[in-house]
Amino acid sequence: MFLRLLIFVVVVVLVYRAAKKWFGPDHSLSSGDTGAPPQSVDDEMIRDPECGIYFPQRSAVALDQRHQVLYFCSTECRDRYLARHSSEAPQ
């Protein structure tokens, strides 16, 4: 008697899961297009001085200048910025 009830509950749970998977819109499983989770509300969006795109400060690459700190979207942009500014200096 108890075993039958247990089996019934298990079957109901499995059917419920399967139905949810088939009929529900699959935002939980299709983790394809949107990369960033929507938890980055507290992130400040800053602008890359090299390539000009906006990005969250949390993922920024910081560069300490003498009187200010610059933030870049990637190390490539930081290196490009540095190369451009160091090539201007000697001449």
Q: Which amino acid is at 77?
A: C
Smallest distance from Zn ion to CB 19, Å? 46
Nearer to Zn ion, 63 or 73 (CB): 73
Nearer to Zn ion, 26 or 76 (CB): 76
Q: What backbone phi and psi angles, to 5 degrees, belong to 33?
A: -90, -45
Smallest distance from Zn ion to CB 7, Å? 59
Nearer to Zn ion, 18 or 46 (CB): 46
Instruction: Compute the C-alpha angle 19/23/25, nearest 5°.
Output: 130
Q: Which residues bind Zn ion (CB under 5 A)?
A: 48, 50-51, 73, 77
Smallest distance from Zn ion to CB 80, Å? 8
User: 40 vs 16, 55, 87, 91, CA distance in Å?
Assistant: 33, 11, 37, 44
